[in-house]
Chain A
Amino acid sequence: MANSMARSFLQVAATEEVASPLRVVQIEGLVILKIIKHCKEFSPALVTGQLLGLDVGSVLEVTNCFPFPVREEEEEIEADGANYQLEMMRCLREVNVDNNTVGWYQSTILGSYQTVELIETFMNYQDNIRRCVCIIYDPSRSNQGVLALKALKLSDSFMELYRANNFSGEKLREKNLSWVDIFEEIPIKVSNSALISAFMTELESDTPVTQCDYDRLQLSTNPYMERNMEFLIECMDDLSMEQQKFQFYNRSLSRQQAQQQAWLQKRRAENMARKTAGEEPLPEEDPSNPIFKPIPEPSRLESFLITNQIANYCNQINGVAGQSFNRLYLMKSLHDK
């Protein structure tokens, strides 16, 4: 679990390049524990917190974090949250902790985090901090025995599109952006101080198999699968809604085109008549005519996100099912022996 990699600040500073792409998110073990603690305690409610750290070249070091208080209903005003944040930062600075915001973390259930809200928040952060990440922790997934920690950022090309707020099919094709390219996952590295690493090795037992390892053979995946399934179904509904939007758009578009065609035909005939009468032909484009007003194409963002979400669910199901099969095969072979 613990993967230590010590690196001096000088080393990092020496290798720093200008605007090098973010390659790695390096998280202190402490931060991870804090995140896990915070998220797990409040589960299944969703919580968020601020990440503090340093941006060192292609590595983003996350050295500290603090949770946001859980807002109770709507009683709290926005200003309170902001005040809390400022106050917290001030306090941390006073005790000489990194108080440089590098992103935020949030908990999720079953990886259902791919929403427009997330993107909006991201864009907001991005405006101020050039490099920011969102760390997502999934407590429910962690129950399966994995460290469900993910560092995400939006891809540059997507951000560009998002700023232009143009998600028409044409633009997407132009940018060659598919649903996979919205989020970029950045590998996480957990760094611990040497002291901690030593302590950890000290703690590690000698025998390879312990009692708790048998727990891993547990097959209680049903609830998890069910939940995933439910969310999948919901996604399907959303997706078909999106599809309907497109169908509607297509229909109205073709209707409009037919209208335009009819209008053009009429206009041409009129022009012919005018020509024979020796008059000036009328223009073939009439912007004032309502039938020439382009129908706005529905945004594809939503369907992209849903697709992402679906992919996520599928991966999860796949992963869990794969693990379960492994366990079953293991048991079977054990029996056969």
Chain B
Amino acid sequence: MASRFWTQGGSDTEEEESDFEDEIENVGAAETTGTAAGSRYLQANASDSDDSDGQKRVVRSAKDKRFEEMTVTVDQMKNAMKINDWVSLQESFDKINKQLEKVMRVTESDRVPNLYIKCLIMLEDFLAEALANKEAKKKMSSSNHKALNSMKQKLKKNNKQYEELINKYRENPESEEDKHEDEDEDEESDGSGSEFEDPSQLGESTDEEDETEEPDDDAADGAWEKKLSKKDKLMDREFKKDPSEITWDTVNKKFKEVVAARGRKGTGRFEQVEQLTFLTKVAKTPAQKLEILFSVISAQFDVNPGLSGHMPINVWKKCVQNMLVILDILVQYPNIVVDDMVEPDENETQKGADYNGTIRVWGNLVAFLERIDNEFFKSLQCIDPHTREYVERLRDEPMFLVLAQNVQEYLERVDDLKSAAKVALRCVELIYYKPQEVYDAMRKLAELSEAADGEKDCDEPKVEESRGPSAFVVTPELVSRKPTFPENSRSLMDILVSLIYKNGDERTKARAMLCDIYHHALFDEFSIARDLLLMSHLQDNIQHMDVSTQILFNRAMAQVGLCAFRVGLIAEGHGCLSELYSGGRVKELLAQGVSQSRYHEKTPEQERLERRRQMPYHMHINLELLEAVHLICAMLLEVPNMASNTLDSKRKIISKTFRRLLEVSERQTFTGPPENVRDHVMAATRALCKGDFQKAFDVINSLDVWKLLRNQENVLEMLKAKIKEEALRTYLFTYCSSYESLSLDQLTKMFDLTEAQTHSIVSQMMINEELHASWDQPTRCIVFHDVEHSRLQALAFQLTEKLSVLAESNERAVEARIGGGGLDLPLRRRDNQEYAAGPAAVGGRWQDFTFTQGRQGTSGRSGYSAGGRPLALGQAAAAGYSRDRSGKSRGTGGYYGRTGSGMRGSQMDASARMVSLNRGVRG
């Protein structure tokens, strides 16, 4: 407690003062000011019993301060006069005028203080003297002279207002002064006599010494603390006096008062929470208690004002408890309705527990719950994940889940399914990334800690109860404080997700879907995850969603990719992951760290936004594993591909990222032993290119990210099989031209595969026309056919490609001309294309899928969406073509250079010459 006030005190006193002035300004009469000031100081004073006392004390101290300041200024003036310094005199004069204003405000009287008048007279005299003394005037410096002149004018103007007073004072200076002095003394003694005075005076005295209005000394703080504790006591006393005396009205009035102070300067946030908490105990009706509880929670949210910081953890916990109490009340009194749409009646909460009709209380449970969740999330973002604190914090998760479950239950009971879906989403977002093991651990922890917590919880209220008066409205703990988790996280997800699908809005559903996909992928159910992804069409419109949903989408894609790899679907895995890695901004895409871009600086604003989006550490997808999986997938696809297109290697590129890395690693003069994931995969690639599957596997096996996988053995086994397979394919691609025939036995031996496997792989290659060969069954040999396209044939192929590109773009041009939506099509298409590049490989299924979807659209709506979809696919294909083209033209470029361009060039020459010749003729 003390520390809290230490931190608060300084600013409080200062603010308090300025506040105070404001109030006085606002309220005209001295009387009312007194009341306001009193109530502000002694907040427990419901009845203004000892108001006058308080008022006097406070006002006087302020007045004193002002007077003191004025005296100081006058002293300064005197000094300035002595040295004939008109510049400083002028400054002081301005200052004293300002001070006068304040004093006038403080005293609230029309009478100008004598001190001021005295000062004016003094100045007048001095001025006259100075003006009379012509010689001295001449000697003055120019600035001084200027000051003197302006002073003369100012004083003349100023003194006109007070002419009367000045004259009066000149007539009778002594008496006035005496009287004033007496008064002063009186006040002094008065002040010191009062026991309550100490703190404020202490504070003030330091102020005076500083001459400034900002007392940030420890003394002031200490005083403040003292005052507060006193006030607390007062408050307690006020209500302790006689429970029966407390009426709904008093509580309500007090409540309004406290709430009104919310957000004002000088309102201690903690203090407010405490006051409100106290009020909950003395609330007369359940509805009132509820109302106050809502305010408590709001106040608790206010404790941390910044967007970046998080709520203190203990406050958060209390907040959760308060929410539970709210739910208790709501369950106990089903006739109370919480609503944030209507402004309820002023005295709605007066209706007691026995009131039968519905009582409307303002509040929004879902908003509160979401805020609590956000705070939890934020706290996890802020806390260093490698500390114990983080783990401790994570343990609070079940607490929140309990609350969420209860809120959801309640909402379902009152049939507010929309909100229930929102709450369910919050639960889903806490559950979806947990593998079964983590989920089990959480479940156990919840059971254990709940047991312990239960005791503690029992203790705590007791302590409070004994401390304060027992609450008027006792709320039994109706809502369960213990989370009930199903055995299987999947079943929990299913329940929540189906609720959301039924009742949620678009965004909620989309997010739930993504979580669902993620969760399925986590559980190695690739086909389900993929089907969900495709059915939801999230890929089509994810671009239009908010950033956090996009991040969730990226996470889901990454997880689906990992899942595909685990179940041995290499191409699919690569399809999911390649897009993530295409930009080199994986961290950013997954919100697992901020990546610095060399090319454009981020504004601080952007950076802050990004930081706020970051995933807490425990939700991270291991980036190394992700990279390893991505690169291995790329390797398994790319190595045979490179081998099959040795002649024009640029022709078909499956993974650009991989190619780039490979180029970089090939450029190295010496290759050291592999260190990071990338090096490992590159080393494996080199081995695989030579067909050395064993070495490739060993290198990959030595990666230590594999221990992050649950079924490590199976995955590695699968990987080994795949590597062998691709090694065989690579070997066949590379060396098929060197063989007339190749025996099956030889191959099986070379690659340590079974005969059936080898047979099937080779057959598949034959069917796909990758390998021009046939089986010779009796001898169990592969007989290679040397099929080589003649140049003419190759050219014909090339030409057909070109033609299809041309036809494609022609169609598009026609589309733009006749079909609608030609305008923003290019933009959308580009987006889609990016996507097509990635998930298209999730399976051929996807393409079919969207395609048919597009077709359906044609029949239904205008050509807009219908036109967009299939085109996007076409575009992707076109992109492929164009890549091909560039590769090819490079390949045959030499040839063109020799004939085509050479000829054209010479022709151009010829015609140019003819022109010139012609000119010659004319000339």
Contact = CB atoms under 8 A, between A and B. Distances in A.
Interface in A37-89: 44-48, 50, 68, 71, 78-79, 81-83, 85-86, 89
A240 B813 contact: no
Contacts of B812: 247
B799 A112 contact: no
A85 B812 CA distance: 52
Given A121-B915, A226-B795, A254-B822, A115 B908 contact: yes
Interface residues of B, number: 47
Contacts of A233: 795, 798-799, 802
A46 B791 contact: no
Interface stretch (B129-137, B367-375, B599-607, B893-901): B893-901
B792 interface: yes
A125 B920 contact: no
Contacts of B920: 78-79, 81-83, 85-86
A120 interface: yes
Interface string A209-233: 0000000000000100111011111
A82 B919 contact: yes
B810 interface: yes
Interface stretch (A100-108, A148-156, A178-186, A290-298): A100-108
B907 A46 contact: yes
A258 interface: yes
A84 B799 CA distance: 44
A96 interface: no
Nearest to A228: B795
B918 to A, nearest CB: 5
Interface secondary structure of A, over-half rule: helix
Given A124-B918, A236-B806, A250-B816, A81 B913 contact: yes
Contacts of B791: 222, 226
Nearest to B905: A46
A109 interface: yes
Contacts of A239: 806
Nearest to B900: A234
Given A112-B903, A118-B911, A85 B917 contact: yes
A337 to B, nearest CB: 30
Interface string B818-852: 00001100100000000000000000000000000
Contacts of A45: 906
A63 to B, nearest CB: 18
A165 B910 CA distance: 23
Interface in B875-908: 885, 889, 892, 895-896, 899-900, 903-904, 906-908
A240 B823 contact: no
A138 to B, nearest CB: 12
B313 interface: no
B904 A112 contact: yes
Nearest to B796: A229
Nearest to A119: B911
B922 interface: yes
B908 A117 contact: yes
B660 to A, nearest CB: 27
Nearest to A69: B913
Contact of B823 (A106, A232, A236, A255): A255
B813 A124 contact: no
B796, B817, B892, B903 — which one has the most chain A CB atoms within 10 A of its CB? Answer: B903
Contacts of B909: 46, 71
A113 interface: yes
A170 to B, nearest CB: 14
B914 interface: yes
Contact of A128 (B817, B823, B889, B918): B918
Given A82-B920, A225-B792, A44 B903 contact: yes
Interface string B789-809: 011100110110011011001
Contact of A243 (B792, B799, B809, B912): B809
Contact of A230 (B895, B906, B914, B916): B895
B896 A234 contact: yes
A125 B918 CA distance: 7
Contacts of A120: 911, 915
Contacts of B900: 230-231, 234
A244 B805 CA distance: 11
Size band of the interface chain A makes with B: 35 or more
A251 interface: yes
B921 A236 contact: no
B306 interface: no
B920 to A, nearest CB: 2
B921 A117 contact: no
A246 interface: yes
B193 interface: no
B923 to A, nearest CB: 7
Nearest to A243: B809
Interface secondary structure of B, over-half rule: helix
Given A71-B909, A121-B911, A240 B792 contact: no
A237 interface: yes
Nearest to B889: A237
A226 B792 contact: yes
A132 B724 CA distance: 73
A83 B916 CA distance: 11
Given A85-B917, A120-B915, A250-B813, A46 B792 contact: no
A46 B918 contact: no
A81 B916 contact: yes
Contact of A244 (B809, B822, B914, B923): B809
Given A101-B921, A227-B899, A121 B802 contact: no
A222 B793 CA distance: 10
Given A231-B900, A247-B809, A82 B923 contact: yes
Interface string A10-49: 0000000000000000000000000000000000111110
A315 to B, nearest CB: 16
Given A46-B903, A128-B922, A229-B799, A78 B916 contact: yes
Nearest to A81: B917
Contact of B907 (A117, A227, A243): A117
Contact of B802 (A44, A71, A231, A237): A237
Contact of B911 (A50, A83, A101, A115): A115
A83 to B, nearest CB: 7
B902 to A, nearest CB: 8
Contacts of B802: 233, 236-237, 240
A225 B915 CA distance: 33
A118 B904 CA distance: 12
Contacts of A229: 792, 795-796, 799
A237 B802 CA distance: 7
Given A128-B922, A236-B803, A254-B822, A115 B896 contact: no
A143 B844 CA distance: 51
B830 to A, nearest CB: 13
Contacts of A243: 806, 809-810, 813
Interface in B350-385: none
A230 B896 contact: yes
A254 B915 CA distance: 40
Given A121-B915, A232-B799, A247-B812, A46 B910 contact: yes
Given A125-B918, A128-B918, A226-B791, A106 B910 contact: yes
A124 B899 contact: no
Contacts of A121: 911, 914-915, 918
Given A106-B914, A121-B918, 5 more contacts: A78-B920, A121-B914, A128-B921, A128-B922, A230-B899
Closest 7 CB pairs of A and B: A82-B920, A117-B911, A236-B802, A229-B795, A78-B916, A48-B910, A121-B911
7 contacts: A46-B910, A47-B910, A71-B909, A78-B920, A85-B917, A86-B921, A89-B921
Interface of A: 44-48, 50, 68, 71, 78-79, 81-83, 85-86, 89, 101, 104, 106, 108-109, 112-113, 115, 117-118, 120-121, 124-125, 128, 222, 225-227, 229-234, 236-237, 239-240, 243-244, 246-247, 250-251, 254-255, 258
